[in-house]
């Protein structure tokens, strides 16, 4: 955990500083006057006491500082545990009701199931950001193709409703990376592509460890490109700018060593590229 690493680094630093200071004091005293065993014992005792007291104080302050974070994470974990049961019950019962439901009822039950899935996704996002804030390692091995297909399944109805075509050309490749961060980054890229494409198509490809999301939307002006990854940034003249979404994409790439490129032309569309080629394998 982060707290243990920082406490260890602080302890090493304290020991190093104390060793230098007391070593320097012994050197000066030995030059000015003789030092006997008694004096050495006093100095050694003072060294141990000051070092131990400093480490203990650092431990206490660190625990106090991180206590709210730990408590918040425990709250999220408990909430996740508690909410899984009622949501699972709702899903089970809707599945049973769908077996005898007519077409109108099926639509209603499908909306209930979709709402349950979104509710679980919101809580998973909350848990993810809590762990991220606590600097916990969330890397895992997963098939990028399966993760991309899962995100496409969640948003394809929105594409159909708007009349925008979504095509995908994907290949299987295992990645050792933050899976939830990957999914959130992709979800934001797809959401932006849909938002800024009034008609036409959005293409997503994943080949040779490179992910591309290309739209045929309004494009981004050259002077806007350097700003779109800023938190809460909105393009001039837009009521629904790209906001926090692309900031999360950039943050994910920076934290995981993913190279991010963007090509855009006003009136023709934009293409976002995430290159996972430099990601180190687990083994």
* Last-in-domain residue among 103, 136, 169: 136
Task: Report how far apart the first and last C-alpha atoms of the chain are (Å, whole number).
Answer: 22
Task: Looking at the structure, tell me whether residues 93 and 224 fall in a common domain.
Answer: no
* Last-in-domain residue among 102, 136, 170: 136
**pLDDT confidence bin for 234, thresholds 50/70/90:** low
The more confidently predicted of residues 185 and 242 is 185
pTM score of the predicted model: 0.61
Task: Looking at the structure, tell me whether residues 41 and 69 fall in a common domain.
Answer: yes
pLDDT-wise least confident of 56-65, 178-187, 192-201 = 56-65
CA nearest neighbour of 172 among 224, 205, 198, 207: 207
Task: Looking at the structure, tell me whether residues 208 and 188 fall in a common domain.
Answer: yes
pLDDT-wise least confident of 173-177, 200-204, 233-237 = 233-237
Task: Looking at the structure, tell me whether residues 101 and 150 fall in a common domain.
Answer: no
24: domain range? Answer: 1-136
CA nearest neighbour of 269 among 171, 193, 180: 193
Mean pLDDT of 194-220: 91
The more confidently predicted of residues 165 and 52 is 165
Tell me the residue length of the chain: 283
Residue 274 confidence (pLDDT) above 90: yes
Task: Looking at the structure, tell me whether residues 169 and 69 fall in a common domain.
Answer: no
pLDDT of residue 227: 79
Per residue in 28-74, pLDDT tens?
667 666 666 666 677 777 777 777 777 777 667 666 666 666 666 67
**pLDDT confidence bin for 186, thresholds 50/70/90:** very high
Per residue in 101-159, pLDDT tens?
888 888 888 888 878 877 777 777 777 776 676 666 678 899 999 999 989 988 888 89
Task: Looking at the structure, tell me whether residues 148 and 42 fall in a common domain.
Answer: no
pLDDT of residue 263: 92
pLDDT of residue 239: 47
Query: Based on the structure, what is the number of domains in the chain?
Result: 2
Per residue in 242-261, pLDDT tens?
456 788 899 899 988 899 99
Task: Report how far residue 46's alpha carbon sits from residue 164's, in angstroms, rounded to the nearest whole number.
Answer: 74
In a domain, 280, yes or no: no
pLDDT of residue 283: 42
pLDDT of residue 260: 93
Task: Looking at the structure, tell me whether residues 147 and 82 fall in a common domain.
Answer: no
Residue 224: exposure state from Cβ atoms within 10 A (0-12, 13-18, ≥19): middle
pLDDT of residue 72: 67
Q: Write the CB contacts of 224 (distance below 8 Å, at least 6 apart in sequence).
A: 235, 236
pLDDT of residue 41: 75
Task: Looking at the structure, tell me whether residues 131 and 151 fall in a common domain.
Answer: no
Residue 170 confidence (pLDDT) above 80: yes
Task: Report how far residue 65's alpha carbon sits from residue 134's, in angstroms, rounded to the nearest whole number.
Answer: 12
Task: Report how far residue 195's alpha carbon sits from residue 161's, in angstroms, rounded to the nearest whole number.
Answer: 12
- Strand runs labelled E in 194-238: 201-207, 210-215
Residue 266 confidence (pLDDT) above 60: yes
In a domain, 30, yes or no: yes
Per residue in 6-32, pLDDT tens?
666 666 777 777 777 777 776 766 766
* Last-in-domain residue among 136, 169, 188: 136
């Amino acid at each position: 955990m982060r707290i243990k690493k920082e406490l260890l680094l602080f302890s090493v630093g304290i020991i190093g500083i104390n060793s230098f200071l007391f070593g320097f004091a012994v050197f000066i005293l030995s030059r000015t006057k003789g030092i006997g065993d008694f004096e050495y014992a006093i100095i050694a005792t003072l060294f141990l006491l000051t070092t131990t007291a400093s480490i203990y104080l650092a431990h206490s302050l660190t625990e106090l500082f991180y206590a709210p974070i730990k408590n918040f994470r425990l709250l999220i974990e408990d909430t996740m545990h508690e909410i899984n049961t009622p949501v699972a019950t709702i899903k089970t019962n809707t599945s049973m009701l769908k077996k005898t439901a007519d077409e109108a009822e099926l639509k209603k039950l499908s909306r209930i199931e979709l709402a349950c899935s979104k509710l679980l996704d919101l809580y998973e996002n909350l848990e993810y950001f809590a762990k991220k804030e606590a600097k916990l390692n969330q890397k895992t091995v997963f098939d990028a193709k399966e993760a991309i297909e899962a995100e496409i399944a969640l948003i394809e109805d929105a594409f159909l409703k708007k009349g925008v075509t979504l095509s995908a050309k994907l290949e299987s490749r295992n990645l050792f990376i933050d899976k939830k961060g990957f999914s959130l980054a992709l979800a934001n890229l797809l959401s932006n592509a849909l938002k800024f494409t009034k008609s036409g198509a959005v293409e997503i490809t994943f080949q040779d460890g490179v992910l591309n999301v290309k739209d045929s939307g309004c494009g981004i002006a050259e002077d806007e490109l350097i700003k779109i990854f800023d938190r809460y940034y909105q393009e001039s003249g837009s009521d629904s700018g790209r906001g926090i979404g692309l900031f999360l994409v950039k943050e994910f790439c920076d934290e995981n060593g993913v190279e991010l490129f963007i090509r855009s032309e006003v009136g023709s569309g934009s293409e976002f590229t995430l290159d996972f080629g430099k990601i180190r394998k687990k083994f």
